[in-house]
Amino acid sequence: MPLPDRLVYLDHAATTPVLDEVVDVVTRTMQQVGNASSLHTPGRAARRVVEESRERIAEALGVRPSEVLFTSGGTESDNIAVKGTFAARRTTDPRRDRLVVSSVEHHAVLDPVEHLVRTAGARVTWVEPDGQGRVHPQALRDALDADGGPGTVALVSVMWANNEVGTVQPVRELAELAREHGIPFHSDAVQALGQVPLDLSVVDLGVITGHKIGGPLGVGALVAGRDQSPVPLTHGGGQERKLRSGTLDTPGIAGLAEAVAHAAAEQASHARHLAALRDRLIEGALALDDGISVSGTWTPGDVTDRLPGNVHLRVADAEGDSLLYLLDAAGIACSTGSACQAGVPRPSHVLLAMGVPEREARGALRFTLGHGSEQADVDAVLAALPPALERARRAHAASRSRA
């Protein structure tokens, strides 16, 4: 099959094109030799790049430089936060064997939690969202009071914004509720950075990564309050407050700082631009009057309750995978949900937690906009959707008749 003349890339929630200025910074820094842990002149020069990058990121995120710890990305940061905090809290108080976690988390949080249940005697209390994917403070309060009360809880974890349906959580209120009981609050903010205002000082442990905001792959940060001391998962040189040993990726860190600074500076205007495209795509899809519905909360023009770049649609009587491949053949790159779960033929755990019937959840499509997205991309999707829907539904009907 010949490739389309023009690729419409609408999977920015999975990864984004690297910004030109980030490429410049990384390239320039890669040409400088030096290990940031070395004491000689090249090492001190590398250390200066790292610490200046740390300061830029801290300023953009509203935290202290000493609270920014560099990692390989969101998954590693979430693992340190969840596993390390559980181990630390359980050591100081054996009663704290419980994790309170929203059921719509990314697998970078869900899988470490399940690992602790299997191997470390952890108990987990799931906090269920409403039908729009939002975790309400009362739901968290009820979860804290359950299963032995707040004194048994080692950590609360609720993501800042959902990677699939784009719902933004009331993180400040949730974090304040956890702090009332002296419980650390962790939030995966990977999808939020650059799309909504992000002040990580309101949480105890926050997570970002570079490749969602035009930065390099393989570099991210865990923002850990100065009073947080998770048990490290790796041991070696003792870098990053002894929480993440290993030679620092100086070029990647410089690129991350450039991307974070850009995301913070351009957030408001970027959000307005994306929301306009998002609304055009949602309105156009609904206007097809072809059994399409929107997942999550949505109000035209809103840039606070839903990520401005997120469009999550459910299509009746069709399989999301079929739609994805048909759209891909038409030159449109999108997703059925989390890229980390691609290829697994099961409905989204996020949609099921929201109360979406499994039959509906299987017909999910996620379009996520980012820098470089334009009106022509939206128009291309709206033109390609009707024939893709027709073919996907024919295939779905044929498979059901054979079953």
Coil vs helix vs strand at 219? coil
Pairing of strands 68-71, 123-127: unpaired
Classify 20-262 by CATH class.
Answer: alpha beta
- What is the full per-residue pLDDT of the chain (403 aa) written as tens digits? 344 567 999 999 999 999 999 999 999 999 999 999 999 999 999 999 999 999 999 999 999 999 999 999 999 999 999 999 999 999 999 999 999 999 999 999 999 999 999 999 999 999 999 999 999 999 999 999 999 999 999 999 999 999 999 999 999 999 999 999 999 999 999 999 999 999 999 999 999 999 999 999 999 999 999 999 999 999 999 999 999 999 999 999 999 999 999 999 999 999 999 999 999 999 999 999 888 999 999 999 999 999 999 999 999 888 999 999 999 999 999 999 754 454 556 789 999 999 999 988 999 999 999 999 999 999 999 999 999 999 999 887 777 666 5
Residue with tokens 């956890």: 178
Picking from 115, 116, 183, 189, the residue whose alpha carbon sits closest to that of residue 158 is 189
Sheet holding 185-188, edge to edge: 68-71, 220-224, 205-209, 185-188, 153-157, 98-102, 123-127
Helix/strand/coil for 294: strand
pLDDT of residue 3: 44
The residues spanned by each domain of the chain are 8-17+267-402, 20-262
Could you confirm whether 340 is annotated as catalytic? yes
Active-site residue, selected from the candidate residues 33, 287, 340, 344 = 340
Three-class secondary structure of residue 374 per DSSP: coil
Q: Specify the CATH superfamily of domain 8-17+267-402.
A: Aspartate Aminotransferase, domain 1 (3.90.1150.10)
Phi, psi of 294 (to 5 degrees): -100, 135
Q: Where are the beta strands (DSSP E) in 56-202?
A: 68-71, 98-102, 123-127, 153-157, 185-188
pTM of the model: 0.95
Q: What angle do CA 399, 401, 402 make, to 5 degrees?
A: 65
